[in-house]
Structure 1
């Protein structure tokens, strides 16, 4: 008898969980039956679970639709008693709010439904225990470390949905999870770096694409630059922060130049990198590109008008006008506009100075 009651209770909970996410006012009995098509459930136990939900006012029979004629009989159609359903769910959340650590916020669950709460609850209970014994962390930690502390699984935050749980309960920022950026990919001009004055300036060139990096790498030692950095598109925005750790230059000033595609995306990347390390456009490369006819084909990129205006401010008026005309026409300049030999010649012989915007 106890086993039978447990089975009926389990069926009821599954039905209740489904009803929490059901978005319509009425449903057919067949929809409830379909939930158990792959389960070994006896009709009598299923009917008792449905009848329990009727008694609780969570399912209201639609009399005009008739009943199914089985014993015990069930209505062919039901109206969902959402008011009662919501009241029970809200009461449960309110009880949980009193039981869990006060730093665990539950507001998001009022609009998400009980199924998501049920899935998250084991994690909430685990986080609750952690907060009660250790409190909020005072020092940042990388995602795998923090993930292991909270869940006993170093991949829970990044691959197991853990970040979404923490954001739902308002704890992501409070847990001081440090971004785990990819290592910065770069080449070092060791001879120049060794001979540079201990308080001098060091020059670094960031290039957006791999092709340009490989084209320039063989002549790094023939330039006045101390490093050549591969930006790898948007990745540079995050991993440029690792530069001081990967290339420690105590007492020296670092000047970063950036060369990427001339389009809304490439200029947007430059702006974000500039905000992090003060990178300035590598004008000799860009000016050489702007001296050529532009190809078409970038009409669908999201516009970055603010970034374009900031970028254009480094160019003299004639080139600035050409830049704007190119982008308005849906044109662009990939870094591959310049041949390998042209890139190398410009890098060796270009006038490299810390330009300031002209406007």
Structure 2
């Protein structure tokens, strides 16, 4: 994937040996009931062994060696909700918090969906309906083109080359909303939309509607400046959210966010970047775009991974991989895998070669 190293991107450390569900057997018993860990903070979490799954034990150590080599702090594989692998490196532990970086965008997407299902927002409405006019420095007629859905889809038309700050002076018009895809921190304005519509702080609404329902105990939004906050939690809490995503917004039979919204969120959201949903990255599409580039790349984002996989991806290689065909969630937290943190790198492709070796 040498074409990608031309772009020194700020966010995501994101063809050919495909491992889609049509070419590989499902690694689990399809009738096994999905497991959800207790939501009361109980540390007990059911497990499933490599042997029970019929996986290749000889592929485990090469995977662990690679993870440690690439500055990983924690790694989890869930199958049907049960922990198959859980490993910590470099002094990190099960109780150590770590930042999600841009992988946390998917938390904002999910809570936006919750607010819509409660009837307090409509993602087809313009952002200024909730924040008032002047939340950008775009001409008023252009600002009023920007809907909440544009923020979810990264096609607001605002300038993505002005840094992280989301104050009005830094949110400048480049193109009409819906006509240009560009990875931009303006998505965070959705948090202000939800706060305004709910009459609560973003944190309080998030905690009551999502965090506490999943038992993501102790997780918190930490201010990083420039009007942004970053979510921190343990690795298991990140895995809980991945398990919710695997189950299309349901948690142990309870609807947290409705399946219709979740299906929209994890499918192509616009016709420019086919590899992007509502703040989720999508594998297996015909083409994709990268942050800070208007170029189109043909093929799947991670060709060594299953085609139905969707992903929450953050700076320094924070990862939530969700693979419905395998009933699998994979979590990786840590420092940047490589010295130069690019949007996509050989790390993702090699990692999935080694994960796939477990069950192929």
TM-score (norm 1): 0.20
Q: Which has the higher contact order (CA 8 A, sep 6+)?
A: 2
User: By percentage of residues, which structure has more strand?
Assistant: 2
User: By percentage of residues, which structure has more helix?
Assistant: 1
